[in-house]
Amino acid sequence: MENFEPRLLAFVCNWCAYGAADLAGVSRLQYPANIRLLRVMCSATVSPHHILRALQSGADGILVAG
Amino acid sequence: MQEVTGEEGNFTVTLKKQPRYVDASKCTGCGDCARACPVSTPDEFNLGLNNCQAIYRSYPQAIPATFAIKKFDRAPCVRTCPANVNAQGYIQLIKAGKYAEALKVIMEKLPLPGTLGRICPHPCEGNCRRQDLDEPLSICALKRFVADQVDWATLPVPEIDKRDEEVAIIGSGPGGLSCAYQLALMGYRPIIFEAAAEPGGWLRYGVPEYRLPRKVLQREIDYIQRLGVDIRCNSPITPERTVSDLIVRDGYPAVFISVGCQESVHIRVPGIETEGVVWAADYLKEVATTGIAPTAGKKVVVIGGGNVGIDAARIALRKGASQVTIVCLEGPDEMPASPWELEETEKEGIEIRHSWGVKQILPDGGKVKGVWLKKVAQIFDEQGHFAPKYFEDQLDTLDAEIVIMSIGQRSSNLRFLTVADGIELTPRGLIKANPDTLATTRKGVFAGGDVVTGPYVAIAAIADGWEAAVSIDRYLRGVDLKEGRQFPRRLPAGGKWQPIPKNNPTQRRSPMPTLPLEEWGQGFQEICLGLDPEAARAEAGRCLNCGVCSECMECVAACLPGAVNHAQTPEVTELEVGSVILATGFQPFDPRGLNYLYGTHPNVVTTLEFERFLSPGGPFQGHVQRLSDGREPKKIAWILCVGSRSNREGSQAYCSSVCCMTSLKQALIAREHIGQQLDMAIFYMDMRTPRKDFEKYFQRAASQGTRLVRSRIHSVEALGDSGDLQLSYVTEDGKVAAETFDLVVLATGMVISPATRELAETLGVQLSRYNFVEHSCFEPVATSRPGIYACGVVTGPKDIPQSVREGSAAAAAATRQLAAARGSLLKEKVYPPEQEVAGEEPRIGVFICNCGINIGGVADVPAVAEYARSIADVAYVQENLFTCSEDAQTLMIERIREHNLNRVVVAACSPTTHQPIFQDMLRNAGLNKYLFEMANIRNQCTWVHQYNRDAATTKCRDLVNMAVAKARLLQPLNSLTVGVTHKALVVGGGVSGMTTALALADQGYEVDLAEGTDRLGGHALNLHTTWRGEQVKPYLHELIDRVQRHDHIHVHFEATVIEAGGSVGNFTSRLSNGALIRHGVVVLATGAEPYRPNGQYLYRKNPNVFLSLDMDREIATNSRLIKNAQAAAFIQCVGSRIPERPYCSRVCCTSSVDNALKFKEINPEMEVYILYRDMRTYGEREFLYHQALQKGVIFIRYQLEDPPQVEEVDGRMRIRVTDHILKRPLELTVDLLTLASAIVPRDNTQLAEMYKVALNEEGFFSEAHAKIRPVDCATEGIFLAGLCHNPKPLEDSIRLGLAAAARAATLLSKDHLELDAHVSIPIDENCDGCAFCVDGCPFQAITLMEYMKQGQVKKTVEINEILCKGCGSCMATCPKQGIYVAGFSMPQLTAQVEAALGLI
């Protein structure tokens, strides 16, 4: 497990979390590169289907931020 | 704003715009400039709690993201330097270790940095502001350091466009070399005629080698020669080659003369002709040329205390003199030689005999044997002219074999000038030259340096050389010598500079390393060895950056789009406007003058500073810490009313209104940041939380452990070096107490700035006694000058919701007279017709941005592009340096057409900032703007994985793949539009409803006004005067009259809303009078009622117990009642601030205090008591409270648990109450009792249901957001005004009425409302009408419906696209995939998920 690099997928709300992720960039806050952000207009858009599909497809963790 | 002329409706405003030095149209906000900037300066946005660069963006989220440069005046060092060498600039570059760049900055003006870095007397250091702290910077040594860091032999020569003209320069001293250098850089061919065998002038022949090694001078002259300067030595100007010959015969179009002052001034004293007397200039030249000196083994006396005399003495010592003595007229502190030279001289063992003049040289056998001296009586006469006098009876002799005379220098080498040259001289025998242009009386001949100024410093000659080069260039190009020319050399004294930081640790200057003292006199080795890099950078770090921006130009080099422009100047523009709105805000009170240690102790901060502590975007990323030691505080005290509610000098008498709530909020948020263990204590006088929901917040803060200490603060003291602070205070019952805290926060009040006061004067706007904009309660946003309006704190202390509301109110007032001009300046953009792409196979274009080096510098962009080419359906891939630049946009449109692209992906920055730009580009290319997707590979990739190129590149690839996956499935969408009914329904005919109706009607909109009773006026019918003393009745009557007479207003009496439907832009409402109204917006202004206590405090049991409103009437109509009363009392908070009604009714404190004052006015003998809980005379109303105290009104504070008891005794009222100071029961007997009763809402439930508007717990209508949208309801198109929102005084109802009108007008002014295309769309064949989505929709946009389909009832859902916000709750809830959000459909999101995980 020591070298385990999880593959993470994040669903982020356009109005808050996506903006926060942008701001992290402007402030040059460094974080690990193994996360992919997917923009949605509201975290309510995220269906369980997407979460399950992501886990089936090899994601190790899901973040819904909104 | 410099001037406003004209009148209401027709103003001309003169604006002066300060330059930002960055072109906003080119700046991409990448921040590369700030990373290159070496200057650190206090960050104003964070109130100086941390530092930012001189080129900065106010804060990370700032929009636009454009950077700006902070420049004050040029630093004093730069100004003082005769050549204006940019010392601050090169010092900053040294600090940053950028030595080559530093040298470049120096060499803009100074081609001899190593030379001047050794010999310049550096006047710059004399004006360095660092000496106010400890010592000036060692600027000269730093200059030398830089020059010594580079290899001059390989120093690159810039590319120069050569010109044909040759220019003759006479003399190769600093002036001649400087002029030649500058001309060479301009492309001219300078030819220097030098009489001596080697170039350099006095630098070579006068300055001793131990100060300036010849190789240093030579390497710099060599470099100048590499630029193309031709130096011809042994080429004196003679009768065979006169100046005139150079022009007429040899054809030089211009000549510069800079031959210096290289000859000693001769004086006549007896014996001066004796052998052994030599002149200093000759002596120095002889030693420099031949290396032989006549002083070897001799006793030497040097006459003269200038730098040349010192040089001569020290050379004599090195050339083997048996003894060297300097004799000078001056005392030890008056000598003209530089002090550091004198210090070195004394260290070398040379004796200086002060205040002696030469009486005679004593000869012996034709040779010098000594000097006869006489004592100096004075050197200068009363006018300050040199006029030495001696005591002829105080004499002395000195033995000497050689006497070196060094009493001054002059230019005698002008003998080469002839009459034909036509060059005039001054009476002092110097060349006459124009002080600005250095032109002599001969056309085309210029002169500078000592030959014009007399003996002076080398750097001034350098400056002249540069100035002459500018003149010669102009002369040769046929441009006027003076026109439009800047003379930066002559800058005014004084200026605006970076304040000298306080609490800066002392840091002495880096000492200059030297040879061991015993080696000094041994030879001509250089004594000063120069700073090492570590010392130099430390020294450079001491610079205070007086000018803030150092103009080192590193930002210019770093900015790839070329947005930085240091040459910008202030811009003056004129605007034609109809109205002006002042919204200049406030500045926080400066608490330095109070004994709270602010400014001297790091752990005493203001609330505004603490706000930055709490901000995640603040200096500590939201981690609360002490400035003294970075430790997280465990105990924090807030001191309220700092600078407010005080008659102390410098403080303000008014209440700043916001500080109580700010402190409560900060206490709770600080605890969220620090944890439950935080001890918060608020020291206050009265807790003033009268605004909506604030009282509940106050109760919450108290119940969650905020300690509330009613007290007066005596002082704050530091406890040793611990960083802790001790608060001494007096409690309400007079006890003295003290407590220790880790951090003290001062709730500083709001003050109007001097700049605003000046502006008001410029505009002719009157200010109140407290400097707020003077206004009436009836026109709360109008100023004394018609057409100029004001909002925000400039009209009085207020918080954010009130400021936002007042902003809208000012907009309504300011546009009222301008309705006719509405829309007249609008221009509509025309786009080409949209291409039909629906049936086409996707042809995706991918444009990948490098963003300068922001993306390309981290990720491998070519690799990402290569990868993109491999993705299916991608038809074209292109890299751009800056995708957002205008030329890139034009090119993209061409590519879209050329490659027939029907979907576009831009991999660049964030859609939040740039999507609209690219969507506009798509429309210009004839594509639907929804056929676009962005991959955020900058903000969310290369900026956050800066040090991992491989991982960032991989992530970029995935993000591009995800964007392409979605783009493949994109369909064109059409933004929906709905028409707007240009009509408003106002519910409620009180002051706020009427104000809204009138404001809208004046704008030209039709208004239906529904009033539930048979008359207009509402609650205001019961009011008599405002707190400012204005009569309400006349105002109200006029208002009612105007409403009733207005053509656009239709008043419905005894009418309530009984039915309502529709949504923003198109509502339909039925009134109880039968009227059916179609309208675009609704304004709810249904008012409120006074609370009538049921028998409490003898209300309605004793005729002399009144509610406040009734008492207002009695005062207005029945003054006898008051005249006859001996005593009167007011009881506050009757029905307010109690568990069942946990809000403050806001108006009652002011009302009671105002009435108490009226009692005292009518009947000064009357005893008046006010029984209160917290005295809430907020803002400028505090003035009334002060007055009441002065007039003897007695204030007694009671507690909720122990309310006053009232009983009737002989027709009078006996009140028992516990005195808050004595803690003992008091008994008062009064004739009149006024109950300050609560304002309670009407039953608004039906209206709330009909219009889908929320009510708060107390039954007042809720706004969409307390701070951001305080006038709007959460349901679009519905607005709030007046008391139905919360208790408020008349002026606030008027404000809110205006604000509601402005908000409503933003919708009514549109013909169509454009709706977002990202709305939900049902898929009828999948939908079985289970209605899961109907309940889940937070916007009530979905309705269940049935219809006949193939003979059967089919259930399905219908979307109201106007109400739908595209949140997707329905899509996530639906088990049948029967509904989706356009642009974010299930297949689109699934494709992105799969792309992210590499499945497609």
Q: A30 contacts in B (CB within 8 Å)?
A: 944-947
Quick: pLDDT tens for B386-411.
Answer: 888 999 899 999 999 999 999 888 87
B1367 with A50: Cβ contact below 8 A: no
In A, minimum Cα distance to B950 occurs at A33
State how far the Cα of B1227 lies from the Cα of B1218, in Å rounded to an integer: 9
Q: Who wins on pLDDT, B975 or B1235?
A: B1235
3-state secondary structure B393-456: EEEEEEECCEEEECCCEECCHHHHCCHHHCCCECCCCCECCCCCCCECCCCCEEECCHHHHCCC
Contact B951 A33 (CB under 8 A): yes
Contacts 24+ apart (CB under 8 A), B917-923: B917/B884, B917/B889, B918/B883, B918/B884, B921/B889, B921/B892, B921/B893, B922/B896, B923/B831, B923/B832, B923/B834
Q: Minimal Cα–Cα distance from B34 to chain A, Å? A: 12
Ranges B140-149, B335-344, B834-843, B1328-1337, most confident: B140-149
CA angle B79, B85, B88 (to 5 degrees): 75
Q: What integer pLDDT is reported at residue B490 of this predicted model?
A: 62
To the nearest whole Å, the CA of A54 is away from the closest chain B CA by 6
Most A CBs within 10 A among B1367, B1386, B1390, B1394, hence the mutation to make, goes to B1367
pLDDT in the model for residue B412: 64
Assess A52–B contact: CB distance below 8 Å, yes or no. Answer: no
What is the radius of gyration, based on Cα positions, of chain A? 13
Residue of A11, A23, A29, A39 to mutate, testing the B interface (most B Cβ within 10 Å of its Cβ): A39
Q: List, for residues B621-677, the tens digit of each pLDDT value.
A: 889 999 999 999 999 999 999 999 998 888 999 999 999 999 999 999 999 899 999
Give which of B443, B437, B472, B421 is closest to B166, Cα–Cα.
Answer: B472
Q: What mean pLDDT comes out for the span B807-825?
A: 93
Q: Does A16 touch chain B (CB under 8 A)?
A: no
pTM over 0.95: no
C-alpha torsion B1159→B1162→B1166→B1170, nearest 10: 10
Quote the pLDDT of residue B856. 93
Contacting residues of B for A49, CB less than 8 Å apart = 1386, 1390
- Say if A60 is an interface residue toward chain B (CB within 8 Å): no
Could you give the CA distance from residue A9 to residue A62 in angstroms, rounded to a whole number?
A: 5
Query: In which order are the strands placed within the sheet that holds B743-748?
Result: B604-606, B743-748, B635-642, B679-684, B707-718, B725-731, B736-741
Please report which helix (H) or strand (E) contains residue B231, including its range: strand B230-232
Q: Does A19 touch chain B if contact means CB atoms closer than 8 Å? A: yes
Contacts A25 to B, Cβ<8 Å: 910, 938-940, 943-944
* Inter-chain CB proximity A24 and B944 less than 8 Å: yes
Q: Which residues of A touch B853 (CB under 8 A)?
A: none
Q: List Cα–Cα distances, B3 to B13, B584, B753, B758, B781, in angstroms.
A: 6, 16, 19, 11, 21
* Cβ-based contacts of A53 with chain B (< 8 Å): 1390, 1393-1394
* Whole-number percent of chain B with pLDDT over 90: 84
ipTM of the prediction: 0.98
Residue B1064 in this model has a pLDDT that exceeds 70: yes
* Chain A environment of B958 (Cβ under 8 Å): 36
Sort out which chain A residues have CB atoms less than 8 A from B939's CB and list them.
Answer: 21-22, 24-26
| Angstrom distance (rounded) from CA B1204 to CA B1206 | 6
Span B1310-1330, average pLDDT: 92
Given this model, what pLDDT does residue B468 score?
97
Establish if A56 touches chain B: CB-CB under 8 angstroms.
no
Q: How many CA atoms lie within 13 A of B1336 on its CB side?
A: 18
User: Is residue B264's pLDDT more than 80?
Assistant: yes
Average pLDDT over every residue of B847-872: 95
Nearest CA in chain B to A47: B1372
Q: Is residue B262 over pLDDT 90?
A: no
Could you tell me whether strands B1006-1010 and B983-987 are parallel, antiparallel, or unpaired per DSSP bridges? parallel
Question: Does any CB of chain B come closer than 8 Å to the CB of residue A13?
Answer: no
Question: What is the Cα Rg of chain B in Å?
Answer: 42
Average pLDDT over residues B1380-1388: 94
Q: Which of B702, B707, B614, B622 is nearest to B666 (CA)?
A: B614
Closest partner residue to A45 among B948, B1372, B1397, by Cβ?
A: B1372
Contact A26 B1389 (CB under 8 A): no
Contact B1192, B1157 (CB under 8 A): no
φ, ψ at B23 (rounded to 5°): -80, 110
| Token pair 């005493």 in the structure block, residue | B604
Chain A residues lying within 8 Å of B1386, measured CB to CB = 47, 49-50
Smallest CA–CA distance from B966 into chain A, residue: A38
Asked if B1389's CB is within 8 angstroms of A50's CB, the reply is: yes
- Find the closest chain A residue to B965 by CA distance: A38
User: In Å, what is the CA distance from B368 to each residue of B301, B388, B400?
Assistant: 11, 25, 7
DSSP letter at A21?
H
In sequence order, the β-bridge partners of residue B1138 are: B1141
CB spacing of B1397 vs A58 below 8 angstroms: yes
- A53 and B1393 within 8 Å at the Cβ level: the answer is yes
Q: Among positive and negative, which fits the CA dihedral A47, A51, A56, A58?
A: positive
Peptide bond between residue B64 and the one before it cis (omega within 30 degrees of 0): yes
Q: Which residue of chain B has the CA closest to A21?
A: B940
Mean pLDDT of B257-265: 90
- Which of A22, A57, A59 minimises the CB distance to B939? A22
Residues of chain B contacting A45 with CB distance shorter than 8 Å = 1367-1369, 1371-1372, 1381, 1384, 1389
CA–CA gap between residue B191 and residue B165 (Å, rounded) = 11
Q: Do A45 and B1367 touch (CB under 8 A)?
A: yes
pLDDT grade for B241, boundaries at 50, 70 and 90: very high
Tell me which of B620, B851, B944 to substitute to probe the interface with A (most A C-beta atoms closer than 10 Å). Answer: B944
CA B796 to chain centre: 24
- Residue whose C-alpha is closest to residue B1296's, from B1313, B1311, B1281: B1281
Q: Is the pLDDT of residue B69 over 70?
A: yes
Which residues from chain B sit within 8 angstroms of residue A47, using beta carbons? 1371-1372, 1386, 1389
Report whether pLDDT(B1001) > 80.
Answer: yes
pLDDT surpassing 80 at residue B488: no
From chain B, pick out residues whose CB is under 8 angstroms from the CB of A40.
1368, 1384, 1389
Return the pLDDT at B430.
93
Can you give the pLDDT at residue B523? Answer: 84
Asked if A50's CB is within 8 angstroms of B1390's CB, the reply is: yes
Per-residue pLDDT averaged across B1079-1089, rounded?
97
**CA of A2, closest CA in chain B: separation in Å?**
19
Whether residue A20 lies within 8 A of chain B, CB to CB, comes out as no
Instruction: Assign B489 a pLDDT band (cuts: 50, 70, 90).
Output: low
Nearest Cα residue in chain A from B1374: A47
Q: What is the mean pLDDT of chain B?
A: 94
Within 10 Å of residue B1116's Cβ, how many Cβ atoms?
Answer: 15
Mean pLDDT of the B319-328 span: 92
Kindly tell me if the per-residue pLDDT of B144 is higher than 70: yes
- pLDDT exceeds 70 at position A1: no
Give how far B1337 is from chain A: nearest CA, Å: 10
Chain A within 8 Å of B146 (Cβ-Cβ)?
no
Helical ranges in B623-767 per DSSP H: 659-674, 694-703, 754-763
Cα separation, B660 vs B670, whole angstroms: 15
d(CA B1030, CA B795): 17
B966 interfacial to chain A (CB closer than 8 Å): no
Strands B604-606 and B1239-1241: unpaired
Q: CB–CB of B1368 and A44 under 8 A?
A: yes
* Residue A24 sits at the chain B interface (C-beta within 8 Å): yes
- DSSP 8-state code for residue B1268: T
Alpha-carbon distances of B900 from B229, B790, B834, B1048, B1049, rounded to whole Å: 59, 54, 13, 54, 56
Contacts of B962 in chain A (CB under 8 A): 36, 38
* Beta carbons of A59 and B912 less than 8 Å apart: no
As a whole number of angstroms, the distance between CA B744 and CA B764 comes to 41
**What ranges in B1163-1211 are assigned the alpha helix state H?**
1182-1190
Give residue-wise pLDDT tens across range B898-945: 999 999 999 999 998 899 999 999 999 999 999 999 999 999 999 999
Residue B328, token pair as written in the block: 């000078």
Alpha-carbon distance A61 to nearest alpha carbon in chain B (angstroms): 12
